[in-house]
Amino acid sequence: MPFTEKELSDMIEHLDYELWMLAETAELLSIQTPGVVENALIDSFVIHGRSVREFLFEGDKSTKRDRIHAWDYVPDWARLRSKTGGRESALLDEFRTNAHRYVAHLLNGRRLKLQWSIEDIRDDLLKFARIFADSLYTERGWTVTVPSDFRAAGPGETICLVQSTSSTTSPASVMKPYYLDVSNIVNPDDPSDEPER
């Protein structure tokens, strides 16, 4: 059974959140030193990236019907995506496999450390998210917030993040900027990196 307009409208806020978390964890990984915080950020990036990838590239009429996909919003999504060169890249295909094998499931043959191409994965996913956002606006007049303009912060700098808040005037959420002072980020695995008292 297809989703109702209200169900689809309500899920836009969740898609905004997935895209926001994908972008922000990638941004924070560019300034984080190795350790438990970096591992948590990688796990978060992979889980949110996996959700965005499944939304954009998976889903046909035979899949579980509690999962919403891009074609639920834009029925001609596969054609529109491929018309713009939108085939899933080898990088995203490898990302799907690695996300299942190294983060989502505890499988035999799992490596302790895996090198993730964070920025390339983020950029690939957000490229297709922008194609979807344009198609969604054309199809329904609805908006999705797709983050852009990434830059790693240096020591003592402040980076702008966006915070999702619910909007009663449109089916999409409104993204509000807030700022994170990265000059005080501490590596809990490094005893010499203690906060000043």
Residue 191 within a domain: no
Residue 81 within a domain: yes
pLDDT value of residue 115: 73
Q: How far apart are CA 172 and CA 12, in angstroms?
A: 5
Residue 193 within a domain: no
pTM of the predicted structure, to 2 decimals: 0.71
Domain that holds residue 38: 5-184
pLDDT value of residue 161: 42
Residue 189 within a domain: no
Q: How far apart are CA 168 and CA 173, in angstroms?
A: 8
Residue 31 within a domain: yes
pLDDT value of residue 173: 41
- Structurally, the chain folds into a number of domains equal to 1
Low-confidence ranges of the chain (pLDDT < 50): 62, 149-186, 195, 197
Residue 101 within a domain: yes
- Max distance between CA atoms of the chain, in angstroms, equals 59
pLDDT value of residue 39: 84
Residue 196 DSSP one-character state: P
Q: How far apart are CA 38 and CA 158, in angstroms?
A: 19
pLDDT value of residue 154: 42
Mean pLDDT over all residues of the chain?
74
pLDDT value of residue 166: 36
With both helix axes pointing from N to C terminus, report the angle between 90-99 and 36-57 in degrees, rounded to the nearest 10. 120
pLDDT digits (tens, 9 = 90+) for 8-25: 999 999 999 999 999 999
Residue 192 within a domain: no
Domain at 129, CATH number: 1.20.120
DSSP class per residue in 140-189: HS-------------TT-EEEEEEEE--SSSSSPEEEEEEEEGGG---TT
Instruction: Judge whether 146 and 133 are in contact, CB under 8 Å.
Output: yes
pLDDT value of residue 38: 86
